[in-house]
Amino acid sequence: QALNPFVMVMFGATGDLAKRKLYAALYSLYRNKLLHEKFAVIGVGRSSKEPDAFHTYIRECVDQFGRLKVEDEHDWRKFIEHFAYARVDVSKPEDYQILRQAVESQEKKWGIAGNRLFYMAIAPELFGMVSTNLKNGGLTQTSGWKRLVIEKPFGKDYLSAKALNEEIEQTFSEEEIYRIDHYLGKEMVQNIEVIRFANSLFEPLWNNNFIKNIQITASETVGVEERAAYYEHAGALRDMVQNHMLQMLMMVCMEPPSALNMEAIRDEKVKVLRSLRRYQVEEVDNYFVRGQYAEGTINGQPVPGYRQEHNVAPESATETFVAGKLFIDNFRWAGVPIFIRTGKRMAKKMTEIVIEFKEMPKYLYFNREGNLNPNLLVIRINPDEGLSLILNAKRPGTEDDVSPIELEFCNNCGKESPEAYERLFYDAIEGDSTFFTRWDEVALAWKFVDPIRQAWDKAAADTLFSYQAGSWGPLEVERLLAPHGAHWWQVQ
């Protein structure tokens, strides 16, 4: 149920994110009656656009990328009436008067008493300037609430993130800032807490007495696509590790919150980052491996190497793959290695978390190889969503032929889960920031990542390992796992 009427000002209305995700998410929310009937969206862009052309554009986006397709034209017309367009050059303070008039006229049209959501789907260099211009242009003076939804990247290191935060805090308070990490909007990422804290089965085992290691994988088959201008400077470390990978780690490793409210949950998450062992620049090589894809094949199709991609420097040292071994130095996790890996152009699109439990104190049963598989809990995030618990059992009709069996739950079989952005939009409009990142999380995440970046920025080129497109990354990664008697589990 939607309680809040609102006007959303969407900066970057003709950009890639809006096109692929944002309109589709708004439409799904509308169809599911999760938007208040009094709402308006003002798309902001630099070019001029007639209202009809803007509406047609949104329709194309929904047709192409929407989870829910348009079935009823009458209903579509009712939805699209809520969208207006404002031509604004965000760097020109005077243009904010045009925007202000547009907002006020929509508020009047729909009878909305001033709740304003400013959504920054624009280049990160503009975040600070736009928020200052919003304030100076009087747009943040409203009788209702005001909120800022901001996309990543939030800075490029700790210092730049801090400067950005100080700049936007001139206009929005911490409670009004909703920093998006779209992984937190994913159904199965949110489900991690439920699985852990609503089942008496797991929590007693969820510690270093029973867990041997944790493995978090986010692999993609796509390459850099059209984003080289951004990615060349970001690399996989800033693009995936600083945010999505650490967020998943926090969800898996946090203590139970005292209550299910946003501050209690985020307090526990941030404690994980406080206990996360930070590496010195000189020791990074012992814990992290980086790679870059070379040409190879994906789904039977030849694909170029990273350095041959459009707008990538021929000598580029940007990493497209990162693997790491992390430790959380607290009572619960001391000594448990947490292996992470993420990369582009890998063998499979897959995000999953594997919890590997310790071996039995003594083996009474063996599998055919004379061994016994460990118990595994696999949390599948994307694109398959679900859970598997791998146990050992006797094969029917045999006496002691023990082999792994899989208890499987599928979360999105037969019905599609909402897209991350649907949930995040809804929460931002309703004022729930649980699944958004708080400043102290962002700051600590950068403090962890910065020395790794520094080490790589000054390292010799031979610490960047090449891997074939379509593989699981450089073989060098095994040296992180081998000392712990571990290897990657591929259970899907």
Q: What angle do CA 138, 143, 149 make, to 5 degrees?
A: 70
Q: Interface residues for ligand BG6 in 378-397 (CB under 6 A)?
A: 382
Q: Closer to ligand BG6 at the Cβ: 376 or 381?
A: 381
Q: Closer to ligand BG6 at the Cβ: 219 or 471?
A: 219
Tell which one of 176, 193, 239, 441 touches ligand BG6 (CB under 6 A).
Answer: 239
Q: Which pairs count as long-range contacts for 406-415, CB under 8 Å and 24+ apart, including other chains?
A: 406/491, 410/384, 410/385, 410/386, 411/187, 411/188, 411/191, 411/380, 411/385, 411/386, 411/387, 412/187, 412/384, 412/385, 412/386, 413/386
Residue 393 annotated in ligand binding: no
Give the pair of three-digit tokens for residue 268.
């526990």
CB of 407 to ligand BG6, least distance (A): 26
Q: Does 351 interact with ligand BG6 (rule: CB under 6 A)?
A: yes
Residue 491 annotated in ligand binding: no
Task: Compute the distance between CA of residue 433 and CA of residue 29 in angstroms, rounded to an integer.
Answer: 18
CB of 229 to ligand BG6, least distance (A): 13
Active site residue 82: no
Q: Closer to ligand BG6 at the Cβ: 134 or 189?
A: 189
CB of 354 to ligand BG6, least distance (A): 17
Q: Closer to ligand BG6 at the Cβ: 307 or 358?
A: 307
Residue 15 annotated in ligand binding: yes
From first CA to last CA, the distance across the chain in angstroms is 36
**Closest CB to ligand BG6 belongs to which residue?**
239
Give the pair of three-digit tokens for residue 371.
């061994």
Residue 458 annotated in ligand binding: no
CA dihedral 215, 220, 226, 229 (to 10 degrees): 20
CB of 95 to ligand BG6, least distance (A): 29
Q: Does 232 interact with ligand BG6 (rule: CB under 6 A)?
A: no
Residue 135 annotated in ligand binding: no
* # residues near ligand BG6 by CB under 6 A: 4
The SS3 assignment for 296 reads: strand
Residue 267 annotated in ligand binding: no
Task: Compute the distance between CA of residue 461 and CA of residue 459 in angstroms, rounded to an integer.
Answer: 6
Q: Does 4 interact with ligand BG6 (rule: CB under 6 A)?
A: no
Q: Closer to ligand BG6 at the Cβ: 296 or 343?
A: 343
Q: Phi and psi of 472, rounded to 5°?
A: -95, 20
Catalytic residue among 244, 310, 484, 487: 244
Cβ atoms of 179 and 153 closer than 8 Å: no
CB of 5 to ligand BG6, least distance (A): 30
Q: Closer to ligand BG6 at the Cβ: 239 or 441?
A: 239
- Nearest residue to 6 via CA among 143, 126, 136: 143
Q: Interface residues for ligand BG6 in 196-225 (CB under 6 A)?
A: 220
Task: Compute the distance between CA of residue 35 and CA of residue 40 in angstroms, rounded to an integer.
Answer: 10
Q: Phi-psi category of 337—alpha, beta or left, where left has phi over 0 and alpha has psi -120 to 50?
A: beta
Residue 14 annotated in ligand binding: yes
Query: Catalytic residue positions?
Result: 244
Q: Which residues bind ligand BG6 (CB under 6 A)?
A: 220, 239, 351, 382
